[in-house]
Amino acid sequence: GAGVSQSPSNKVTEKGKDVELRCDPISGHTALYWYRQRLGQGLEFLIYFQGNSAPDKSGLPSDRFSAERTGESVSTLTIQRTQQEDSAVYLCASSFLGQPTDTQYFGPGTRLTVL
């Protein structure tokens, strides 16, 4: 009965390196969301999955960002050639059906620091 888990919890990388962030949603949840939270700001939507499909990638900031989901379960967010402005907490959430009234359950986040 675990909640949403994310790994790593912290990631420090050098500018220009690629990073991969992982999210394990609650079992049986069909919808999965990635958000970014910059210091002192609200959450910024990145991408949404319904099953393994990503019908909306409009929030991805640039083509350096990509994400995939497999087996209607785990998702990975990849940031290529990281920049300092990518430093933020990346949050993953899942919900049962992806309906607007659904509660989204959040993971603890991955804190990314790009030096």
Partner 1 sequence: AQSVTQLGSHVSVSEGALVLLRCNYSSSVPPYLFWYVQYPNQGLQLLLKYTSAATLVKGINGFEAEFKKSETSFHLTKPSAHMSDAAEYFCAIAKTDSNYQLIWGAGTKLIIKP
Name the residues that contact partner 1, by CB under 8 A.
Answer: 3-4, 31, 33, 35, 40-45, 48, 50, 55-56, 59, 91, 93, 98-109
Minimum CB distance to partner 1, residue 70 (Å)? 20
Distances (CA, A) of 67 to 22, 35, 43, 49, 100: 10, 12, 18, 9, 22
Minimum CB distance to partner 1, residue 65 (Å)? 16
Minimum CB distance to partner 1, residue 90 (Å)? 12
Closer to partner 1 by CB, 74 or 80: give it.
74
Closer to partner 1 by CB, 43 or 74: give it.
43
